[in-house]
Every structure is written in structure tokens, then in C-alpha cells.
Amino acid sequence: MRAAAILSVLLAVSVSAAERMNVLLIISDDMRTELGCYASTLAKTPNLDKLAATGVRFERAYCQFPLCGPSRSSMLTGRHPGTTGVLGNRTWFGDKHPEFVSLPKHFKNSGYTSIRVGKIFHGGIDDTDAWSLDGQVRFLAGVPAGQPAPKPKGGKAKAGKAKGPALNKDQRSDRRVVLEGNGESHADYRAADRAIRYLNDFKDKPFFIGCGFLKPHSPPEAPQRFYDMWNASEIPLPVDFAPKPTVPPGFPAGSIRPQNADLFVGRDASPEEAREMIRAYLASSSFMDWNVGRVLAELDRLGLREKTIVVFWGDHGYQLGEKGKWSKAGSLWEQGARTPFLICDPREKTAGKVCPRVVQMVDLYPTLVQLCGLDVPPGLVGRSLAPLMGDPDAPWDHPAYTVWSEDGRHFSGVLVRTEQWRYGEFFGRGAGSMLIDPAADPHELNNLANDPAHAEVVAKLSALVKSYAAGHTPPP
């Protein structure tokens, strides 16, 4: 009898191992919720729209920091930026916290083949040892003392074919690029090719593939056929469009950085140029979507869809001229903090459903761990979204936090998002607070923070912000 019970357990373990779900984590850089599946009337993203129909689309998902490095470090370690210590693009979480086990490393330690394709952590600050294949040697941060920082192989990743005189950093960012052919020379095209190759190589083993696309990060780039999908003159401008960064009346000065960082750097945006830039962003997003489609088509061709959890995430939002801002950096507005987020688990019966609950990206790590039946590593602060995968309308009363830092050491602002409110406090330059009712004010033009009718709400949310920011605000 006892032998039979032991055999039963061993068989269960064996079946469990054989049925392990693969993970394909797809990340897009600077991708706001400008997708067809998010009700965008401008976007042309058929492949991601089709993907959304196979899983749960999270309507209100928020990054923890509107900048590549800190946002990705937070999600990939399952910890908030104040804990990781990553408040800028030149910090590796492992310098301060070598004990943290990142998401891909946890899967690798659990018997998966973990594979990096493209940009997953911020470029030059990879968690190299987290990957079974293609881990990038760090050269911007996390280089051991006394060891010279290696130069990136082949220099900076190719974006497109460069012509003309050398450009400085701002000039490289602040332009529109048309790629030759189908964009074969572009890093995103090559990333899709590598992902397709790895799907074939490891189709018979449990894999965790992180597939990161650079676009639509500035400069917006795409082959001409993607630009041709829009007539720039017909693209509407945001209702709060301004030629330069402009703080709305009644809001604290700290809510808008005085200079743009990505596009229209040091120059005003005319309505005509703004429409052309929005067109370029849309084209670049469609080019990214097309490359995602190439990868997903191969996943289907190999018959892997039924045993692969597919996640799509944009590492933060982006402003396209709203309030005169053309960037993500420093944006604690809805467009800067909100991200597209899809989880597609073929075992769930909720395909095509929309989850209206507020979630944050530190929740993804524990979610994938639970969905794949792995042990939960210590220290994760997020909550598994598995209950919402089964019932997207289930009760879920957990706020999301997004922070910004100007100096890379202290919080310059903290935003808390609840089901009903967006409340933020800014410290240092332009200090102040803002309270927004997104349902009544979707364009975020009315600050209710000083309205006596909302004093009780402000007091409650301010307490949440102060608790979250404790120990991270600049000295008086």
C-alpha cells in the first residue's frame, strides 16, 4: 500500500515535469497603450490585438518607474524601486543586492533554459548569469572593482542604416527614420529571427525566453510601408497639446519636467511636426507588432502555443505631445505610468477577457511563478495575478505606485493609483500635490488636491504616499 502511494507521488511529479509550461515574455520599449486592443483609433497592431484575444488584457496596469532601467529592474526582481536602489539607467540591482534572484534566474535555477533575446534588462546592465544563453556582459554598471568595463560588442546596437554626418545623442533620438526593405538590418528584425531560431532549438525542453524589442523607443523607425498606413494631416493632436512642456494651471511645477528628453529636444513642436512625429511613433509601433507576429507565427507553427504562457508588456508609458511632453522620463501622468499588459495562458477559460482592476508590474514575477508551479522565492512584494486570470472581475483592492527620481538617489515624486483616484506628491523643485478623478477628467486637466470637498480623500492617499516614500525623499 505504501509502495503504491510512493509510486503515485513519483508519477505525479513526473507528469508535472513533463507538462511544465514554457514562458515567452515579450517586452516593447516606450510602448504606451496605443494598441488596437486598448481601443486606440489610430494604432494598427493586428498581431498584438490577436494575442489579446487569446488571454487576459489588463486595462489598468502600471509600471513602478517611467524609465527603462528602473522599471525593468523592478519588474524583473519583483521589488519596488526604493528597494532595488535602481533609480536611473546607470545602476545594476546586484551591486547593492547580490542576494536578489531575478525572474529569469529563478526559472533557470528551476530547471528551465533561460534565453535572452534583445533588450530585457537595460542595455549594458544585464543580469548576465540569469541566462542559460545570450546573457550580455555588463559594461555600464555592475562591473567588478578593478576589472575594466568591457566595450559593448560591435558598439551600440544597430538601429538602422546611418547616413550623413555623425549625430550627438539628442540628434540621434530626435528624428524620424525610414528603414530600407523590411528592416532586415534593424535590431528588432534580428531579435525576431533569433527568437524564432531558439523556439526551434528548444521546442522539446522547458524554456523561458525573454524577447525584447527596441521600438517604438526614439528615434521612431520603420520601413516606408508602415509610414504609408497614415496620412499625417489627418492625425488628431491631444486636447492638451502644447509646443513645449507646459504645466497645466493649478498643478505643481514638479509634475512636468521643463525640457523634453526624447523628441523635440530643446525645440518647440509645431502642429505639423507633431503630427508627423505621432505618425512615426505609430509606424514604429506597427513595425514592432509585425516582428512580434513573426515570432508568434513560429510558436504556432511548432505547435507550442498550448504549452506556452505568452506575456506582452510595455516597460512604461509615453507622452506624445500631451501637455507638450514627448517622453516618458519624469511622467507620473496616466500616459507615462500606464502600460500595455497581456497574459495569455492557454489553460485558462478567460481568453479575450479584460481585467479592469488596478495592478502593478511587481505582480508579474509572482504570477509567472505560480502559473508555472515553481517555488516562490523570498522577498517578492507583488501579488500573484492568478486569481484575476481565472476571474478578471474578482475583487482586488490593491493600489499601484509609480515614482520618479531626478538625482538617481531620492524620490522626486510618488504617484498612487487606486480604482477611483490618481494622487501624487512632488518633492524638491516644484513641490506640491495633485488629485485627479480619471473617470471625470481623462485628460488630467483639473487638480482637486486643494478642493475642500476632497480633503478626506487627500488625507488618506497622502498617508499612503508618505508611507511608501519614507526614507527616500530629498532632505529638507
Helix, coil or strand: residue 77:
helix
Query: What CATH number does residue 155 fall under?
Result: 3.40.720.10
Helices (H), 80-205: 81-84, 93-96, 103-109, 169-173, 187-201
pLDDT of residue 240: 98
Q: How many independent structural domains does the chain possess?
A: 1
Whether 24 is covered by a domain: the verdict is: yes
159/30: higher pLDDT: 30
CA angle 83/58/334 to nearest 5° reads 65
Whether 465 is covered by a domain: the verdict is: no
Whether 433 is covered by a domain: the verdict is: no
Whether 463 is covered by a domain: the verdict is: no
Range of the domain at 121: 19-401
Secondary structure E strands in 321-436:
338-339, 341-344, 354-360, 400-404, 413-417, 422-426, 432-436
Whether 370 is covered by a domain: the verdict is: yes
pLDDT of residue 153: 52
Stretch (H or E) spanning 212: strand 207-216
pLDDT of residue 155: 40
pLDDT of residue 144: 75
CA angle 231/324/252 to nearest 5° reads 155
Stretch (H or E) spanning 276: helix 271-301
Whether 434 is covered by a domain: the verdict is: no
Stretch (H or E) spanning 209: strand 207-216
pTM above 0.75, yes or no: yes
Distance between CA atoms of residues 175 and 177, nearest Å: 7
pLDDT of residue 295: 98
With cut-offs at 50, 70 and 90, classify the pLDDT of residue 212.
very high
Q: Is the pLDDT of residue 382 over 60?
A: yes
148/457: higher pLDDT: 457
Per the CB < 8 A criterion, the answer to whether 183 and 222 are in contact is yes
* Best CA proximity match to 132, nearest among 111, 150, 149: 111
Query: What value does the mean pLDDT take over residues 14-19?
Result: 51
Helix, coil or strand: residue 143:
coil
pLDDT of residue 2: 41
pLDDT of residue 1: 39
- Identify the sign of the CA torsion 139, 143, 148, 150: negative
Tens-digit pLDDT profile for residues 225-259: 999 999 999 999 999 999 999 999 999 999 999 99
pLDDT of residue 165: 72
pLDDT, mean over the chain: 93
Q: Is the pLDDT of residue 10 over 90?
A: no
Q: Residue 282: CB partners within 8 Å, gap ≥ 6?
A: 34, 42, 43, 44, 229, 230, 235
Distance between CA atoms of residues 12 and 455, nearest Å: 57
Whether 469 is covered by a domain: the verdict is: no
Q: Is the pLDDT of residue 327 over 60?
A: yes
Tens-digit pLDDT profile for residues 91-120: 999 999 999 999 999 999 999 999 999 999
Distance between CA atoms of residues 114 and 108, nearest Å: 5
CA angle 386/391/397 to nearest 5° reads 75
Tens-digit pLDDT profile for residues 27-67: 999 999 999 999 999 999 999 999 999 999 999 999 999 99
Q: Is the pLDDT of residue 5 over 50?
A: no
Query: What value does the mean pLDDT take over residues 58-85?
Result: 98
